Structures are given as C-alpha cells and as structure tokens.
Chain A
Amino acid sequence: GQNIDQPTEMTATEGAIVQINCTYQTSGFNGLFWYQQHAGEAPTFLSYNVLDGLEEKGRFSSFLSRSKGYSYLLLKELQMKDSASYLCAARTDSWGKLQFGAGTQVVVTP
C-alpha cells in the first residue's frame, strides 16, 4: 500500500528553526513535494526533490533520501506568517499522481 507519514503538529518560537520529517512508502516514486497551506486557503508549492540531497530556497530547505524513503523540510528564522499546515506529497507514477501525507500543523509563538 501507499503510506506517507508526518507529525501532526509542531510548535516553535519566532526566529527559531523547525524541521518537519516525512517518511514515505509508495509502490512507485518520482519525486517529493512540499506544500504550505494556510487555514482556509489552497496549498501553495514550496519545494520539489527528485534526487538525493538538499535543495535550498531562501529560508526554506528540503532534503531527500530515496534509499531511506525520507524527506524533511527545514524552516529557518521562523516568522509568525509561517504558522500553517505543511504537506508532504510523493509523486507515485508518470501520470503525476500525488500521494499526500495528512499534513503537519506548525504553530509559531512570539
């Protein structure tokens, strides 16, 4: 079966760093996405990894290990506006189907 696991909730202080882990077991794999979703809004694209290693985009970085079925999203210099749900999704075939985790709610406190 297909399984994407990520923690339900994480709390961190403004200015700190938070790492959201995601493990996946899928029948096929063609890349790992991270999306950000604020309450009541659509998911917005943050990052995409298809090869092993770290991708950095400003305050956000994402890492992938295909052999371990593992990814993480690193949020640095946290801001209040980073309070949101972060969705991990594995692309499982050549048709672009995405298998999503249930999301990690990040709460940033002053």
Chain B
Amino acid sequence: DAGITQSPRHKVTETGTPVTLRCHQTENHRYMYWYRQDPGHGLRLIHYSYGVKDTDKGEVSDGYSVSRSKTEDFLLTLESATSSQTSVYFCAISESSDRETQYFGPGTRLLVL
C-alpha cells in the first residue's frame, strides 16, 4: 500500500469556522490531489498539486484553498465551512500525471453543522 495518511480522520465543526485537512505521503510522489465524495456524485476533484508550491483548481474548487510547502504534505483549507461541504474527503498521490495510477488515502469524514 502507498504510504498516505490523512488527518483528522473524522471532524465535526460548525458553519463559519475554518477547517484544515492534512494529507501526508512518504512516497516522494510529485502529484497530489484532493477529492470529495458525495452520494450520487462519485469522486470530484477539488484541487491538485504538481510540485511544491504548484497547485491548480479542479472541478469543485469554490470555498476551498490548498497549500503545498513540502513534497510530503498537501493541505486543504475550508476558509469558512458551510453545510454543503459536509462530505468525505480523499487525498490521492501519483508518481507521474500521465502514466501512473493514483493511490488514495483513507479519507476524512467531515460534518459541518
């Protein structure tokens, strides 16, 4: 299994509060991705990174920001959480963008009340 951890694994927060989710990898892979998974929608890409300090938006980036100051860490921040951001968040990593498989972390369940 790829060495990917996510923290926290579960979080309950209130509307309007900031929340940061962390993805940590020990594989030294260049590419990292944040997805959210909701019933009926499958996995949707929020943001991705193609190197330290290099990030870009995905399909559902509104209300989210990311940072990558080290190869091994990719942070996802909800600046002001809303109930629509209640979801399961998965981080994925890949050694290259066009040839290699993406491997997923264990996920973070976020509930915004």
Contact = CB atoms under 8 A, between A and B. Distances in A.
Given A48-B101, A102-B40, A103-B42, A96 B48 contact: yes
Contacts of A95: 31, 48, 50, 56, 97
A90 to B, nearest CB: 12
A96 B42 contact: no
Interface residues of A, number: 23
B25 interface: no
Given A44-B104, A45-B101, A97-B58, A102 B33 contact: no
Contacts of B107: 41-42
A42 B90 contact: yes
Interface string B80-98: 0000000000100010111
Interface residues of B, number: 25
- Interface centre among B50, B58, B103, B104, by most chain A C-beta atoms within 10 angstroms, is B104
A42 B102 contact: no
A66 interface: no
A4 B75 CA distance: 28
Interface of A: 4, 30, 33, 35, 41-45, 48, 87, 89, 91, 94-103
22 contacts: A33-B101, A33-B102, A35-B104, A42-B104, A42-B106, A43-B43, A44-B104, A45-B101, A94-B98, A95-B97, A96-B31, A96-B48, A96-B97, A96-B102, A97-B45, A97-B48, A98-B43, A98-B45, A100-B43, A102-B40, A102-B41, A103-B42
